[in-house]
Amino acid sequence: MSACWEPKRCLGIKPLRDKSGLTGKNLINNQAMKRFLSIILLAVAIMLPQQLAAKGFPNETLNYEIVYHWGMIWKHAGDATLSLRKSGNGYKAQLTGKTRSWADKVYPVRDTLKCSMDANLRPLVYEKLTHEKDYYARDVVKFSYNYSHTSAHCTRYRKSGTTSIDLSAKSQAYDMLSVFYMLRNLDYDELNRNKNYTTVIFSGKEKEYLTINYKGVETIKMRDGSKRKAHRISFKFTQKGGKKSSDDLNAWMSTEADRIPLLLVGKLPVGEVKCYYTK
């Protein structure tokens, strides 16, 4: 496992992992809907920071559209909204994801990620609220620091009871939301093409790793049919020992000065999910 890079800052995330399929020609089954939400939350978090970097961290609300694609099928499956607000000397971020009305009939999902960060964008408290059909869960991660070391106390609330675990890392660590604000420090002109960069992330129950790989500039087709040039980055998620915890994902950031995030694509066992930034 490679070390976190300098002068570029670390980043990382772990998405949920589920199998998926179709219940009919135009419907996705319960497991697929859970996967949709995972991609929604991941996509928005990945794609947000470059835009914030260009705007200097204003109070802001961003909206995203998630589309399921399989052959001739293009289905608007979910939406996500991320808000950022200045709070004292730090920031508060919130990301909500939900399925569309047609998908609610199959498997309704309403998930929320919350994070408080200090002025240096280090996470202080992270909270994940999960509501997927009849399933409810709440994870809380409280961070503390000792020089370059990061520690966290993680509490998991379930109907069956409450459990907790302590995690630590010898470097800066992040949660599923705060970590992507570190993307604002990436300088694409300095990134080496096809070189891996890795960092630590704390989920609600374990320490994991994210490795990014810069692929260069590509031309992509947007939802409205327009074509844009964008920086492409791939993301690989692993657990201790190098075992993959999710399929790889690809994100495209605009090459223009504002670096607007344009698209993220995540593969499913059947088809793929595409996350489009909407104005």
DSSP string, 12-28: ----------EEETTEE
Both tokens assigned to 274 = 């595409």
Distance CA 231, CA 215 (A): 7
- Contact call for residues 178 and 121 (beta carbons, < 8 A): yes
A 10 A CB-CB count for 214 gives 19
Structural Rg of the chain based on CA atoms: 18
Task: Find, among 146, 166, 156, the residue nearest to 207 by Cα.
Answer: 166
Distance CA 127, CA 139 (A): 6
* Residue 34 pLDDT: 52
Taking the CA atoms of residue 167, residue 210, residue 127 and residue 166 in that order, the dihedral angle to the nearest 10 degrees is 0
Each of the 279 residues of the chain gets a pLDDT tens digit; together they read 333 333 233 333 233 333 333 333 333 444 444 555 555 555 555 554 444 443 446 787 878 888 888 888 888 989 988 888 999 989 999 989 899 998 888 888 899 999 999 988 899 999 999 998 889 999 999 999 998 899 999 999 999 999 999 999 998 898 888 876 766 556 777 778 888 888 888 977 888 888 888 899 999 998 888 999 998 988 888 887 777 766 778 888 888 866 777 888 888 888 888 888 887
* Residue 124 pLDDT: 97
Distance CA 25, CA 141 (A): 40
Continuous segment of H or E residues that includes residue 34:
helix 30-47
* Residue 38 pLDDT: 55
Distance CA 131, CA 167 (A): 25
Which residues, in sequence order, are CB contacts of 142 under 8 Å at separation 6+? 124, 125, 152, 153, 154
What residue segments make up the domains of the chain, in order of their start? 22-278
- Contact call for residues 100 and 78 (beta carbons, < 8 A): yes
- Contact call for residues 164 and 141 (beta carbons, < 8 A): no
Task: Find, among 249, 234, 245, 204, the residue nearest to 66 by Cα.
Answer: 249
* Residue 165 pLDDT: 94
Helix (H, G, I), strand (E, B) or coil at 5: coil
* Residue 162 pLDDT: 96
Helices and strands (DSSP H and E) totals, the chain: 3, 17
A 10 A CB-CB count for 93 gives 25
Both tokens assigned to 45 = 């978090």
DSSP string, 71-120: TTEEEEEEEEEEEEEEETTEEEEEEEEEE-HHHHTT--BEEEEEEEE-TT
A 10 A CB-CB count for 88 gives 9
